[in-house]
Amino acid sequence: MADEVILLDLWASMFGMRTRIALAEKKVKYEYREEDLENKSSLLLEMNPVHKKIPVLIHNGKPVCESLIQVEYIDETWPGETSLLPSDPYQRAHARFWGDFIDKKVNVTARRIWATKGEEKEASSELIEILKTLEAELGDKRYFGGETFGYVDIALIGFYSWFGVYDKFGNISIESECSKLIAWAKRCMQRESVAKALPETEKVTTFISQCLGLE
């Protein structure tokens, strides 16, 4: 039976990138639909009436909302050869904890760098602290889960395409503060699923600069 999979998304969304990566890792064929946040489609409003946000994954007409919930859904629905989460319950709990940490801390802080006036300095130093915590968790491992690319990598990597924005508006250099994290990001970028899902950093930076009326 043919699966119908639709993803309602925004090219620059670091959350949508998670779902794109997960689908690609599992080699699931899907239709990508770009949403316009100023003019949300009736399908988006119907499929995510609670939050009216992207990404929304629609599988055979049924919606799954929230990017990390989508990643778990994808892992469970298309088990295949690659697992996005480890099989051991404790390792899974560990991965979910870090996914939750990324969700609670990264965007909330990072947004303040460019979206709120006057908070760049404070927010950018807070962001560096958060990234250093993640870097410490990564340690000397190839990926957050060890040898295998997975859930926590997927949760975080989309933000890499936004590092240019944070550097520019926060007047920082994430590369010089978190070199191990950048090395990890470059390793992830060598995966086809990631390279195809992430936009170029310059494109994101230009887009945000334009939104702020600076270009």
Partner 1 sequence: MAEKEEVKLLGIWASPFSRRIEMALKLKGVPYEYVEEILEKKSPLLLSLNPIHKKIPVLVHNGKTILESQVILEYIDETWKHNPLLPQDPYERSKARFLAKLVDEQILTAGFVSMARADEKGREVLAEQTRELIMNLEKELVGKDFFGGKTVGFLDVVAGSVIPFCLERGWEGIGLEVITEEKFPEYKRWVKNLEEVEFVKDCIPPKEKHVEHMNYMGERIRSG
Tell me which residue has tokens 């990264």.
106
Q: Within 168-207, which residues bind partner 1 (CB under 8 A)?
A: none
90 near partner 1, judged by CB under 8 A: yes
Residue 5 forms beta bridges with which residues?
59
87 — phi, psi (to 5°)? -90, -25
- Out of 25, 66, 126, 135, name the contact with partner 1 by CB under 8 A: 66
- Out of 8, 65, 110, 204, name the contact with partner 1 by CB under 8 A: 65
81 — phi, psi (to 5°)? -90, -30
State how far the Cα of 47 lies from the Cα of 118, in Å rounded to an integer.
37
- Out of 73, 107, 142, 180, name the contact with partner 1 by CB under 8 A: 73
Nearer to partner 1, 103 or 119 (CB): 103
Closest separation in Å from C-beta 24 to partner 1: 19
Among candidate residues 167, 156, 172, 177, the one with its CA nearest the CA of residue 209: 167
Per-residue binding string, partner 1, 100-119, x by CB under 8 A, is xx------------------
- Out of 18, 20, 59, 112, name the contact with partner 1 by CB under 8 A: 59
3-class DSSP state of 32: strand
19 near partner 1, judged by CB under 8 A: no
Q: Within 39-58, which residues bind partner 1 (CB under 8 A)?
A: 50
36 — phi, psi (to 5°)? -115, 110
Among candidate residues 59, 63, 61, the one with its CA nearest the CA of residue 23: 59
72 near partner 1, judged by CB under 8 A: yes
Residue 57: count other Cβ atoms within 10 Å of its Cβ.
Answer: 29
Q: Give yes or no for a contact between 165 and 147, defined as CB atoms under 8 angstroms apart.
A: no
Nearer to partner 1, 135 or 167 (CB): 135
Measured CA to CA in angstroms, residue 60 lies from 27, 52, 64, 78, 179 at distances of: 17, 20, 11, 14, 43
Q: Give yes or no for a contact between 161 and 198, defined as CB atoms under 8 angstroms apart.
A: yes
Per-residue binding string, partner 1, 120-159, x by CB under 8 A, is -------------x--------------------------
70 near partner 1, judged by CB under 8 A: yes
- Out of 31, 76, 129, 192, name the contact with partner 1 by CB under 8 A: 76
Binding stretches for partner 1 (CB under 8 A):
50, 59, 62, 64-66, 69-70, 72-73, 76-77, 89-90, 92-93, 96-97, 100-101, 133
